[in-house]
Structure 1
């Protein structure tokens, strides 16, 4: 059993005994109960020291020589100065800075230069998320180092001296967006087991010899080189690779046999496989070679997440969508030049499918579902999320023939559909999808909106319409719980005639960035179901000139009201009788009616008695405001009140409810 497997067993045993508990704020994290933490700290005794916000007795430690493990948790004024004192802790094995961002940009850089040469017994050095731009060359003297973490930092390179850390087992440098180069002598790290360099966009070349590091289990990213550098066949020797692997630069593979020699099909531990070609489609690219390369890169059938990016071949090899991949739960196809989508309906475990920037695809239909599956059984039996994004050539989506009594025999569990930036899509015929609850239509034609609403008219709970400039009216589904209309300039009025048949059960509606919306009528509120509406947001509607203030009391169920950036409103601060259940009020960039501004006793300016959350931003000074705020005895949350003084400078006032 590997040391990682043994460690996992230890962890599971401790978890079963409640030594560790699932975190309530981090789905993948764990915590220790305070009593267990106190016990562990007590057992560690004088060998462990933690400097946190509650530690003011730092100076009473008489000596540093006995310290073995040190961590700094959270920001503390002056803590950085005390780090220099750890030069005396020459027996230190662990040095960890947790969840802290240094205020002085180059401060930690200079401290490390002084500190690291003295800590030559370190086994663990973790500086993740710190503001670090340089790694001291003296790091090469930490010969006992097993674990090194510079992830989420601003380092630009790793010095050659890192290659001298021949005991290093884990190197984490993911999410270092300024990192551009790795040590040339990387092959000297013969004990390295985990190398995570994911999300390092400036790393364009891998050092020689990585393929010879036989102990590697984690290699999150490889970049293929045409000349000196990493070759795709070097993956063959890394038989223990597991987790996530992103293979970039596949356009540089000109011999498909080398792709087959990578033996991806033998790597049982791979969960996530991303294969990426260049997004530049020039004459140096050969579609037949790329087809053979992708054909040879067939992964093991246990892979769970597959991404194919910017592939130039005109078709996919047969393994893409093969039903033997029965553990595959997520697929992303982006920027590929194929004219048709692969047959994916067989995949019984597929839950998420993202199809993006596939401009050569004209139609989507039975070839996606597979005639065999759609006629003899259920296609996409587990699919929950389906997204089409930026499909410039797509004009038809039809599954005619794969239906029973008008209900699609495909997508029995589909919950969410997004169709974004598909301007030519004009024909949609896919049958009813009974489980659909979330529908997102963006920058598409009115035909698409009408068709998709019809697909889900009896059950949709959230409907989001964005940037659909031709939309003027449509039949809203019956069970919408959240309706969002944004950036639809052709919508000129939120009236019953423009947004028809809004249901009486609508809890929330949001309207934003609809520049041509005209005044809301002061009489009659047929445009929305006032009795059941729980939340109303009106955002950045530049031509909206009025709001039905005198009818506010009709919103008997309204709990939240937000009005943002509506500069044409004659006055945007609600001044009628308040809804009886209003608990949250937010008004940003607003004006107050003159008759209200000139009086300090008007009952119209009284805020709701049971208001618990209040946000007011960019308002002119109102003399009665402070008096009104003091009457809000139920206000629980601290908020910031922003206004402009006579000099035009923004002033932030804080107010704490009683």
Structure 2
């Protein structure tokens, strides 16, 4: 099929055998998988009507480097694209799983197309830079990047806040870019991507130090508050008041007050010691991570 340049309605639908009817049948009512391969001169595909391919869930287009015009097929859930042109498809309504080999033309297409339902994306890049956008990938949950020796950087990673799984394999030249704060360490799997792994460990290191610093600051603030309270309790009760002659009743009051204050001071001192210990441990942990 090397000579095919255009696929139209003659492929997608067939006239009914009865001459009394001009209605078209639904195209391929039982077809579930469709593969186009090595159609090097194929440029466009149109003529698909709403209702055609009603159970089609998988399409693969491989080595069709001139293909640009492509129809919307509303029932497809999974697509695999390898070696195609810059497809003129602004939106894929139903696709939830996309596997794409990214070259220059595919990169241009991905930067323009909207994937509202896409949940799982697998990339094999043949270019140095790939751009991903949360705006165009609002439902993305899993991103897998593999076998991409040429890939240097993936832009937009930190904005993929819907992501809950990141897998990167065999990307020896891929440099680290900051990841979303919502992505946990256990949700990231790295293999044979030394530059990215190094940057990821540094980000984890910085995050831990920041967390320790914040906790230490909170403890220090509380420590200072309790210290101030302790200082106020240590002030003489009659400081700043006019002196008068003592009486036996005053002595009894003072004695009872001293007992109460002694108990309060003891508890305050214990809190100060505990907070100081916590603060020192935080500092020590921070030094160990450095």
- Aligned position for 1:87: none
CA deviation vs aligned residue, 1:12-41 (integer Å, no higher than 9, x gap): xxxxxxxxxxxxxxxxxxxxxxxxxxxxxx
Cα separation, partners in 2 of 1:519 and 1:459, compared to 1, 3 Å: closer
Residue 56 (structure 2) aligned to one of 425, 431, 436: 436
- Aligned position for 2:114: 501
CA distance in 2, matches of 1:424, 1:594: 43
- Check whether the contact 2:152–2:175 (CA below 8 A) recurs between aligned residues: no
CA distance in 1, matches of 2:44, 2:37: 15
CA distance in 2, matches of 1:581, 1:548: 19
CA distance in 2, matches of 1:582, 1:467: 34
The alpha carbon displacement at 1:502 in A equals: 1.3
- State the secondary structure of the residue aligned to 1:490: helix
CA distance in 1, matches of 2:114, 2:202: 38
TM-score, reference length from structure 2: 0.55
- State the secondary structure of the residue aligned to 2:194: coil
The alpha carbon displacement at 1:536 in A equals: 0.8
Cα separation, partners in 2 of 1:397 and 1:416, compared to 1, 3 Å: same
Number of residues of Structure 1 aligned to a counterpart in Structure 2: 201
- Check whether the contact 2:90–2:114 (CA below 8 A) recurs between aligned residues: yes
CA distance in 1, matches of 2:42, 2:204: 56
In the alignment, does 2:127 pair up with 1:516? yes
The alpha carbon displacement at 1:394 in A equals: 3.6
Q: Specify every segment of 5 or more residues in structure 2 that has no aligned partner in the other structure, as ranges.
A: 17-21, 212-287
Q: Normalized per residue, which structure has more helix?
A: 2
The alpha carbon displacement at 1:399 in A equals: 4.7
Alignment of 1:255-334 (within 5 A): none
The alpha carbon displacement at 1:539 in A equals: 2.4
TM-score, reference length from structure 1: 0.26
- Aligned position for 2:256: none
CA distance in 2, matches of 1:430, 1:444: 19
In the alignment, does 2:208 pair up with 1:603? yes
CA distance in 2, matches of 1:427, 1:493: 17
- Check whether the contact 1:596–1:604 (CA below 8 A) recurs between aligned residues: no
Q: Report the structure number with the largest CA radius of gyration.
A: 2
- Check whether the contact 1:406–1:431 (CA below 8 A) recurs between aligned residues: no
- Aligned position for 2:153: 545
Residue 450 (structure 1) aligned to one of 69, 75, 82: 69
Q: Tell me the C-alpha RMSD between the 2 structures.
A: 4.0
Alignment of 1:531-610 (within 5 A): 532-541=139-148, 542-551=150-159, 554-555=161-162, 558-571=163-176, 576-579=180-183, 583=187, 585-591=189-195, 592=197, 596-597=201-202, 602-603=207-208
- Check whether the contact 1:459–1:477 (CA below 8 A) recurs between aligned residues: no
- State the secondary structure of the residue aligned to 1:466: strand
CA deviation vs aligned residue, 1:390-421 (integer Å, no higher than 9, x gap): x3234454453725999653411111110000
- Structure with larger RCO (C-alpha < 8 A, sep 6+): 2
Residue 42 (structure 2) aligned to one of 414, 425, 429: 425
- State the secondary structure of the residue aligned to 1:465: strand
The alpha carbon displacement at 1:538 in A equals: 1.9
Cα separation, partners in 2 of 1:520 and 1:587, compared to 1, 3 Å: farther
- Check whether the contact 2:69–2:88 (CA below 8 A) recurs between aligned residues: no
The alpha carbon displacement at 1:508 in A equals: 0.6
CA distance in 2, matches of 1:409, 1:594: 53
Q: Specify every segment of 5 or more residues in structure 1 that has no aligned partner in the other structure, as ranges.
A: 1-390, 607-626, 629-658
- Aligned position for 1:475: 90
